[in-house]
Amino acid sequence: MVWFTVQLDDKPGSLARMAAALGERGINITAIVGIAEDTEGALMLSTNDATGTRAAFDGLKLAFEEHDPEESLTLDDMSRATGLTDRDMSAGS
């Protein structure tokens, strides 16, 4: 399993376009986590087909990072991926 981190455009339908591109290739999202603050955010997901996921993201020209599933991923990792700081993350609390 590979974890992917993507930053989606702050536009209606961005998440739907990404999910549709995966679905059209028969790719199942097996895990998903997201964080957002105002217009910044990131989505981390794993799928049943890492190679197909890369192709789908490339087809959408969607920038992504890959993470080794053996690594311990934390909220701090997602914060760094989005540029959100701990202060930004706790502002809504």
Answer whether 6's CB lies under 8 Å from 64's CB.
yes
Q: Quick one: what percent of the chain has pLDDT higher than 90?
A: 48
Q: What tokens does 7 get?
A: 């930053």
Helices (H), the chain: 14-24, 50-59, 75-82, 86-90
Our measurement of the distance from residue 81's CA atom to the centroid of its chain's CA atoms, rounded to an integer in Å, reads: 9
Q: Tell me the whole-structure pTM to 2 decimals.
A: 0.73
Closest of 44, 45, 27, 31 to residue 79, by C-alpha: 44
Q: Render pLDDT for 53-90 as a digit per residue (tens, 0 to 9).
A: 999 999 999 999 998 766 655 656 655 655 555 444 44
Query: What domains sit in the chain, N to C, each tagged with a CATH number?
Result: 3-88 (3.30.70.260)
